[in-house]
Structure 1
Amino acid sequence: MNRSLFAASLLFVLCACSEEVGKPPTTVDPRDGDPGATLEVPVPAEGRVFVSLENPEIVTPADDGSSSSDWDLAFEKYDVFTNSGASGPGEGGAFGPLDASTYDEGIAPAIPFLTKDESGGAFRDFWAYDPTAHVLWVRYHVFGVRDGDKQWKVQILGYYAEQQGAPVAAIYRLRWAEVTSAGVGATQSLADLDGTAGGSQAPEDVASECIDLGTGARTKHTPAEALAANDWHLCFRRASIRVNGELGGPRGVTAVDLHASETKGETLDVVKTRTDETELARFDAIGYAEMSDPKLVWRGDRVFSAFTEYWLDREASAPAPANFSWLVQSAADGASRYLLVFDRFDGATADGPGKIVLRVKPEGLPQE
């Protein structure tokens, strides 16, 4: 939720050009063009490094960060997390990406919400919400799903079914086909995959349906059972679709939204015009070449933050941060807000960014 703006009367920190640890940065009025404080964050090959934005500085939580609110951001390889939701107990969160000039202006535009960290995978944005009718509309994106040397394309066709004359949520329709270097296999479809999980409250001890895309076998698992089972690729539970890999399960399955770049620009009105028939061409257009694009990021389920999939420049020839600004809320007080930009990576490899160089400053008031 949108919090009160950080009081602009506080002095902002200016770049501490020295690399001395603990050296207090100088301060200037933010309306005089404060460049903020520069912080260099070496990201380890394994594990996380934690950052507090108040000073800013690297901090070491008393535990693994899961029960402390003394950090705002955590970096692990090419993932960025906020101390909120699934990542930590803090009152943090973030919003972005914002135009690069927002950082220089010192204040973020009005924002509808702050994004808290949450678990999920490639399918997390398969729907668009209609707040007037309280209805979910499927986007008809095509998703890639991989299991070892096999892969499939999957398209979600519907979230509702009629039962006894009334619409019932979480009865899925989908189509899928295996994709190989030799071509695309026959399209398969289902119209009654049960993700109801016992109702809108989705009790944890009630099972929902999962599917193996290779065999078409359908099984039912509770969330706890799914975490230990190898007999599924995708599990359907209310408005979420789980992938059996990383945090989602033990099978090592990965997935990707092949139309993810469209999500932020898709209006509800456009999504509502789509049908199984109009979007069949979108499904048919996906073949081996499209699913082999080296820019695609295939992952299992993991924790998502506002930064996920947006903070990296996917078009750069070498790993680099995207040219955006970000708004981050303090995990400690849930009110203080900071603007930051990522300037560069030093020593980046395919496995991690090496050292991240960023600038950060408290959000201020607009110039009068």
Structure 2
Amino acid sequence: MQVQVRQGDTLWYYAATFNVPLSLMIDSNPALSPTALPIGKTVQIPGYRSTSYQIKAGDTFYKIAGSNKVSLDHLLLLNPSATSAELQVGQVIQIPTRVTNPVVNGNQNYDFQVLTNHLNQLYELYPFIRRKTIGNSVMGKHLVELQIGRGPKLVHWNGSFHANEWITTAIIMEFLNEYLLSLTNKEPIRGRMTNPLYDKVTLSIVPMVDPDGVNLVLNGPPKGEFGELALRINNGSTDFKGWKANIRGVDLNKQYPAKWELEAARKPKKPSPRDFPGTRPLTEPESIAMAKLAEERSFEKVLAFHTQGEVIYWGYEGLEPSKAEKIVDEFARGSSYEPIRFVDSYTGYKDWFIKEWRRPGFTVELGHGVNPLPLSQFNEIFNKSRGIFLASMYM
């Protein structure tokens, strides 16, 4: 929601009158000085939207403010040219409305277009979200990173490294929306206030690493050369439910230089719906973008969300730091997932992250069954994983 600056207005005043944390107000208006706002300048109010209201007979600003549980000054801010004395029946004014319900509905086939639509809605409501395109997929779709918070602790989440594990993106987005509502409304998640986390943690999220693959699984092959290539790799079948790879048949989570040669020797030797690690490490634009992001950000910890098994892999060759065990135990306590330190599988994003930085990295396998997991599991997966998301920030 936007308002226009009046004489004497400050971001402190807006934060107080709209009951929004000052840090969110400042970060929603990074180009403005909190103490010296130019008159007439547009200010973003996070966590609010404006709603149109048509004047009825007998209406006054006082009556409208009271019935909508807003202050008189809220109405004056949104309707600077209107006064109660001049209100006319049929006239339309704007009323500020606090957003208390999520806009993200993750419980649906969550393709790249659904993600994009939800992201655009979140950007409008929560302008303190910082966004960056970290690269493009094979077909040119933007790989988006979101950053939330201003703290020195950098925590990273990602989803949909594997195409038929697209439900991970939906779960991440559902929790992200819950976190944003918690911040703007000063309400707890699982009894824990999140506003202190905003000042301690910078959260980095890449919600969909493989958008081409996700769309392939959910919507079928696209027209043109990439759709034809996918069909050839899939032996002519239009059933892509078992497809884990990117659109070129490379498994993005087997692209990292962490015992890559070992995996390459025992995995498919050509493009495949799953498990082909490429002809060498880091050949694909999606995996390259994710590697560069880790190098630029120097994350404190990384959580890569996959499906399925309700387990959390947290070790790599004994190079993981000792505190990783304490963290994964907290994840397990909050989710009932089983921690597993070592597994005979390599070249993954968390493997490479641990190898390169000796910091905590986790592969979280959501849900149980056969991929792609059915949406009938969505609520159960979300409720079990909330504790992991939350603990990743405060641990």
- TM-score with structure 2 length normalisation? 0.22
Which structure carries more relative contact order (alpha carbon 8 Å, separation 6+)?
1
Choose between structure 1 and 2: higher strand proportion.
1
Please say which structure displays the higher CA radius of gyration: 2
